[in-house]
Amino acid sequence: MTTPNERNLSERISDDIINYILKEQLNPGDRLPNESILAEKLGVGRSSIREAVKLLASRNIVTVRQGSGTYVSSNPGIVKDPLGFTFIGDKNKLAADLLEIRFLLEPAIAARAAANATEEEIRQINRLCSETEQLLREGKDHTAKDIEFHTAIGTSSKNLAVPRLMPVITFAVPLFIDLTKNVLRQETIDTHREIAEAIAAHDPTRAHDAMYLHLIHNRRLITAQTQQ
Amino acid sequence: MTTPNERNLSERISDDIINYILKEQLNPGDRLPNESILAEKLGVGRSSIREAVKLLASRNIVTVRQGSGTYVSSNPGIVKDPLGFTFIGDKNKLAADLLEIRFLLEPAIAARAAANATEEEIRQINRLCSETEQLLREGKDHTAKDIEFHTAIGTSSKNLAVPRLMPVITFAVPLFIDLTKNVLRQETIDTHREIAEAIAAHDPTRAHDAMYLHLIHNRRLITAQTQQ
């Protein structure tokens, strides 16, 4: 009998491989040594390495390309739903609670983006804003573009932790669009546009307030929807 | 050749098992059907189920107890470092950036905790505050207790997303203690105490401000340390 806390061999070897990646300062896209070299370095068998690599791949720390090798993933350690929001049953409360977190984070992030975005990033934010608007006007699903828009703003903030927190937004957006039935609202278009313009103008206060307005608009929609 | 995005059979079956858990509304601690029943329900072989369960276990969605069965994990989907902070090389900038995020989140969370904490939760927060203080006074490692203290406050806020965001704090605290060399500071004790008292008094504004003071104290320590 093993207890839930008892860690098995594959997990210990995965940790050794993680430490190897850190110690050798391997970056995303870098190739790991092949199975037999790794087995020798860590003093374990090749089949143990193979099992450990499978675990690391399932946690998106490494990516195995058949016939080519094992590489450090592009966002190592981040899986689709890293914070386990999928397993929270009450989706109405979750949507409201995630929105509350967005109120705390996103206006400040937008302000930082206005201060720190490069010209290249500003062009990208504007492009994503236009593409989201286009999909909204055509009544098409704008979920993915909307997430990309908010993610680009997060990255432009230059805070290293922010891109890692994006699951809060990437999980909240489709939940929200689903609850509000993807109906076109002029305010969504207008507030998105104002955020993009404020960042392009490098105006942190205006970016902060525009993001706040956007979130207030979202909260009113969600409240109207869940009270019906 | 498979591309990084191509998902293999085990991953597809893992997703099927996740959907099964959600559809059947299994809760943390609930047991999954055994391998052969699951294989029949999902129309795949037993060895495929076994592989998929290994992947789910590595993502902490299920816990396998040898000789007993497979259970839904207590915090399904949350691994040790779900946001991949381990893989960010510049630990000084990461510590500063995580602290910036804590400034955005924790004062508001403390205010919610003051509004929503039960008497039982208040007793626990007070106990953890005293235990952390004791360790600080004895010059012992207070990392784990400090994390428990902040986590208890997060849970008391009753925002469903907050316990899931705790990795921001659980990763930031040891990083911070390490950078500041675990030296006793009276302000750490005093500000912790004030946060606990404000929550016990159900005073959201005072809890908000006490947490702000605590974080300012942390930021000053970290700035002094990294400028040396």
| Segment B82-137, tens digit of pLDDT | 787 877 878 888 989 999 999 999 999 999 999 999 999 999 999 999 999 999 89
Token couple for B49: 């189920």
What is the pLDDT at residue B130? 97
Is the Cβ of B185 closer than 8 Å to some Cβ of chain A?
Answer: no
CA A147 – CA A136 distance, rounded (Å): 14
Nearest CA in chain A to B26: A87
ipTM over 0.90? The verdict is no
Nearest CB to A164; choose among B78, B85, B164: B85
Closest CA of chain A from B94, distance in Å: 6
Q: Between vectors from CA A95 to CA A114 and to CA A156, what angle results, nearest 5°?
A: 15
Q: What tens digit of pLDDT does each residue of A3-19 get?
A: 333 357 888 898 899 88
Is the Cβ of A11 closer than 8 Å to some Cβ of chain B?
Answer: yes
Nearest CB to B83; choose among A25, A78, A94: A78
* Complete domains list, chain A, with CATH: 4-72 (1.10.10.10), 90-226 (1.20.120.530)
Q: How many CA atoms lie within 13 A of B108 on its CB side?
A: 14
Tell me the average pLDDT across A116-123.
98
State whether residue A166 is helix, strand or coil: coil
Percent of chain B's residues with pLDDT above 90? 43
Is the Cβ of B228 closer than 8 Å to some Cβ of chain A?
Answer: no
CA A144 – CA A151 distance, rounded (Å): 10
CA B197 to chain centre: 23
CA distances from B9 to A73, B20, B41, B49, B61 (A): 20, 17, 16, 10, 18
Residue A89 has pLDDT above 50, yes or no: yes
Is the Cβ of A143 closer than 8 Å to some Cβ of chain B?
Answer: no
Residue B64 DSSP one-character state: E
Tell me the average pLDDT across A106-121.
98
Higher pLDDT, A181 or B213: B213
Tell me which residues of chain A, numbers 76 to 135, contact chain B at a CB-CB cutoff of 8 Å. 76-79, 81-90, 93-94, 97-98, 100-101, 104-105, 108
Is the Cβ of B67 closer than 8 Å to some Cβ of chain A?
Answer: yes
CA B104 – CA B48 distance, rounded (Å): 44
With the CA atoms of A106, A109, A114 and A117 taken in that order, what torsion angle do they form, in degrees rounded to the nearest 10?
Answer: -120
Give the confidence band of B56 by pLDDT, cuts at 50, 70, 90.
confident
Residue A72 DSSP one-character state: E
**Tokens 């986590």 sit on residue:** B151
Nearest CB to A94; choose among B4, B94, B161: B161
What is the pLDDT at residue A190? 94
CA B159 – CA A95 distance, rounded (Å): 10
> Of the candidates B115, B188, B185, B190, which has an alpha carbon nearest to the alpha carbon of residue B153?
B115
Closest CA of chain A from B137, distance in Å: 31
CA A32 to chain centre: 25
Which pTM was predicted? 0.78
